[in-house]
């Protein structure tokens, strides 16, 4: 359930999933569940702390991985699942993430039901979103009574100019100045958080982001389709990974598998990125008005169709 509020903390709507902010699962929980099925470190299959510098295609459809320690290894298939600032992406495309004009500042609250009853009331069992014009405050309840806050606003990337981001009190003062006139209960999101503020300027890849297929190299998740965080990025990354695995299993060559995977993933990513952009423009309009209305419909009913690579078995 998402609670939608105006800046004076008046509830203007209650919505099920998919309106404004899609509920999210705990990243730590998802990671722990996934890593239970990952071969242990001892097999050498997973190498933690082993970062990649670049990837280059080789003749005969294989690819060379350049590690940060200046060693190299050759593989039949390199999958760039390395996020927004992918080191694999340059092997496929010249696209670079650019600032979307919106910044999210993250804050955290622990044990809200005991320590922050006001925050617990605001967020309820799901999410809360309050908005006026180009600013919003979002709360998401995660597991174990933990609440994550996003302080979101459209503005220049250097909104904190002259303030040391490590100086929590100075950042707090700068943020409070942006939310003058908002209800005291909402301002507690800026006043009572634990730990510091995490500055997250929003970066996006161009839409559509595509490439001519390069043998032995592909991308998934944010590396392929970094988009405004509209509640589907992690889902899409997991879906990409599942479908790519199915495609590799279901085809006799890597080339066929990548054809099948990319022919489904790229259009789906473009469609979701376009919707995420529209959603961002609706939620964070480039306007001086303090309009608190949420756009009526922000996300299509079925944003993640159960699509499969065309030739997967």
Ligand X SMILES: Cc1cc2nc3c(=O)[nH]c(=O)nc-3n(C[C@H](O)[C@H](O)[C@H](O)COP(=O)(O)OP(=O)(O)OC[C@H]3O[C@@H](n4cnc5c(N)ncnc54)[C@H](O)[C@@H]3O)c2cc1C
Measured from the CB atom, the residue of 255 and 281 that comes closer to ligand X is 281
200: tokens are 């997250």
**d(Cα 251, Cα 260) in Å, to the nearest integer?**
9
| Cβ 253 to ligand X shortest distance, Å | 25
* x-marked contacts with ligand X along 88-107 as a string, rule CB under 6 A: ----------------x---
**d(Cα 238, Cα 230) in Å, to the nearest integer?**
15
Residue 185: which H helix or E strand, with range? Answer: helix 184-191
Query: Does 207 sit near ligand X (CB under 6 A)?
Result: no
Could you please report the per-residue DSSP string of 78-106? EEE---TT-SSGGGT-----EEEEEEEEE
Which residue stretch of 92-100, 128-136, 222-230, 278-286 sits at the interface with ligand X (rule: CB under 6 A)? 222-230
Give yes or no for a contact between 202 and 98, defined as CB atoms under 8 angstroms apart. Answer: no
Q: What per-residue string of b and e applies to 197-218 under the rule 16 or more CB within 10 Å gives b?
A: beeebbbbbebebbbeebbbbb
Measured from the CB atom, the residue of 85 and 290 that comes closer to ligand X is 85
147: tokens are 């609440």
Burial class (CB in 10 A: 0-12, 13-18, 19+), 167: middle
| Cβ 230 to ligand X shortest distance, Å | 8
| Cβ 150 to ligand X shortest distance, Å | 6
| Cβ 205 to ligand X shortest distance, Å | 11
**Identified binder of ligand X from the candidate list 82, 92, 101, 179, rule CB under 6 A:** 82
Query: Does 149 sit near ligand X (CB under 6 A)?
Result: no
Residues 231-260 that bind ligand X (CB under 6 A): 231-235, 237
Which residue stretch of 31-39, 162-170, 227-235, 275-283 sits at the interface with ligand X (rule: CB under 6 A)? 227-235
* x-marked contacts with ligand X along 25-54 as a string, rule CB under 6 A: --------------------------xx--
| Cβ 84 to ligand X shortest distance, Å | 6
| Cβ 97 to ligand X shortest distance, Å | 11
**Identified binder of ligand X from the candidate list 126, 229, 303, 309, rule CB under 6 A:** 229
| Closest by CA position to 229, among listed 88, 66, 27, 3 | 27
Measured from the CB atom, the residue of 210 and 235 that comes closer to ligand X is 235
List the Cα angle 202/206/210 in 5-degree steps.
Answer: 135
Query: Does 221 sit near ligand X (CB under 6 A)?
Result: yes
Residue 4: which H helix or E strand, with range? Answer: strand 2-5
| Closest by CA position to 237, among listed 218, 247, 222 | 222
Which residue stretch of 37-45, 82-90, 128-136, 254-262 sits at the interface with ligand X (rule: CB under 6 A)? 82-90
| Cβ 239 to ligand X shortest distance, Å | 10
199: tokens are 């500055």
Measured from the CB atom, the residue of 227 and 254 that comes closer to ligand X is 227
**d(Cα 180, Cα 184) in Å, to the nearest integer?**
10
Q: Which residues bind ligand X (CB under 6 A)?
A: 24, 51-52, 81-83, 87, 104, 200, 221-223, 229, 231-235, 237
């Amino acid at each position: 359930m998402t609670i939608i509020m105006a800046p004076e903390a008046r509830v203007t709507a209650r919505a099920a999933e998919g309106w404004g902010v899609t509920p999210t699962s705990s990243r730590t929980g998802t990671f722990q569940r996934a890593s239970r099925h990952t071969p242990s470190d001892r097999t050498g299959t997973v190498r933690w702390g082993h970062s990649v510098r670049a990837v280059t295609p080789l003749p005969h459809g294989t690819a060379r991985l350049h590690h940060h320690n200046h060693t190299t290894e050759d593989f039949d298939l390199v999958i760039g699942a390395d996020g927004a600032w992918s080191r694999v992406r340059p092997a496929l495309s010249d696209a670079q993430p650019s600032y979307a004009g919106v910044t999210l500042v993250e804050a955290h609250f622990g044990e809200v039901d005991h320590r922050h009853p006001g925050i617990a009331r605001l967020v309820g069992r799901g999410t809360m979103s309050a908005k006026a014009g180009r600013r919003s405050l979002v709360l998401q309840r995660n597991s174990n009574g933990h609440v994550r806050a996003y302080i979101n606003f459209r503005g220049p990337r250097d909104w904190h100019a002259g303030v040391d981001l490590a100086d929590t009190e100075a950042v707090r003062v700068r943020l409070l100045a942006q939310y003058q006139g908002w209800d005291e209960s909402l301002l507690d999101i800026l006043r009572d958080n634990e730990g510091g503020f995490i500055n997250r300027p929003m970066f996006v890849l161009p839409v559509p982001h595509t490439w001519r297929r390069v043998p032995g190299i592909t991308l998934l998740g944010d590396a392929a389709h970094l988009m405004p965080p509209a509640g589907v990025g992690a889902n899409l990354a997991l879906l990409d990974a599942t479908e790519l695995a199915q495609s590799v299993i279901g085809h006799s060559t890597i080339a066929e598998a990548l054809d099948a995977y990319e022919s489904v993933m790229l259009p789906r990513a473009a469609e979701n990125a376009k919707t995420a952009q529209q959603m961002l423009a609706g939620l964070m309009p480039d306007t001086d008005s303090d309009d608190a209305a949420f756009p009526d419909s922000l996300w299509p009913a079925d944003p993640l169709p159960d699509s499969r690579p065309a030739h997967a078995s």
